[in-house]
Amino acid sequence: MTSGRQREVSMPRLSDGLAIAAACIFIFLAAYRIELPGLYYDELAFVNAAQGAPDNTFIYMRLGPVPLLVFPFIGALKAWIYTPIFGLFGVSALTIRLPVILIAAVTLLIFYLAMRRNLGPTWAAIAIWIMAVDPANLFLSRLDWGPTVLMHLFQAAILALWFSYRDKPQLWKPVLIFICF
């Protein structure tokens, strides 16, 4: 017979394992036949900037040789992240799509940690599973129309940092929240 205390300790561990499993299932589902559908315009808008911007195609603003804006409304952060990836592995559907799928999986886990603190481990795990198998989330994360995956990552980080700051105020937390904006 197990004690109530053992059940209390094992439930968060089970929920943590379920959250990690949800992130893994998300990666599997989003990466399945990753080359389909073929690459298209919005997915490729940052590639020129990530390859050092040899010409000004898809470069709206530079600071010297460094691209700052890909379009008037989209910064070059995604291009900066992809520069070493393309340098090491080249440009393909796999190297364009897999990094954003992995970032989206990390975002799910950050949301889980933020929700676990406020909703409890069981409800947080249920919410993450819903998000992990939601076709709208899977498809949009896989194709990353614009920098939506990075936006969601920063939103999750802001939420988690805010909840953490509420529980234990420390100056570095609002500074990171400001940086995420």
Query: CB–CB of 46/59 below 8 Å?
Result: no
Are the C-beta atoms of residues 128 and 22 closer than 8 Å to each other?
yes
Which pLDDT score is estimated for 177?
Answer: 87
Give the number of domains in the chain: 1
Domain that holds residue 67: 4-180
Question: Over 60: is that where the pLDDT of 6 sits?
Answer: no
pLDDT digits (tens, 9 = 90+) for 86-144: 999 999 999 999 999 999 999 999 999 999 988 999 999 999 999 999 999 999 999 99
Q: What would the pLDDT profile of 43-91 be if each residue is shown by its tens digit?
A: 999 999 999 888 888 899 999 889 999 999 999 999 999 999 999 999 9
Name the DSSP letter for residue 39: P
| pLDDT for res 107 | 98
CA 168 to chain centre: 25
Predicted pLDDT of residue 104: 98
Which strands, in side-by-side order, build the sheet including 61-63? 61-63, 66-71, 74-75
Residue-wise pLDDT for 133-175, tens only, equals 999 999 999 999 778 999 999 999 999 999 899 889 988 889 9
pLDDT tens per residue across span 7-45: 555 778 999 999 999 999 999 999 999 999 999 888 999
Position 5 scores a pLDDT of 54
Give the pLDDT score at 7.
53
Cα 15 to Cα 18: distance, rounded to the nearest angstrom: 5
pLDDT at 4: 55
